[in-house]
Amino acid sequence: MEPKKIGIIICNRYRRCAGGKCFRALRAREGAFSIYRDDDVELVGYSTCDGCPGGNVEYVGDEMVANGAEVIHLATGLVVGYPPCPNIETFRRFLEEQHGVKVVVGTHPIPEKYLKMHRRLGTWEAGFWKLLLDPTMAEQATRESYD
56, 58, 36, 34: which is closest to 47 by C-alpha?
A: 56
What distance in Å separates the CA atoms of residue 91 and residue 9, rounded to the nearest whole number? 10
Tens of pLDDT along 3-23?
Answer: 999 999 999 999 999 999 999
pLDDT value at residue 130: 87
CATH fold of the domain at 4-145 = Rossmann fold (3.40.50)
Mean pLDDT, the chain cut into blocks of 10 residues (147 residues total): 96 93 97 97 97 94 97 97 94 97 97 96 90 92 96
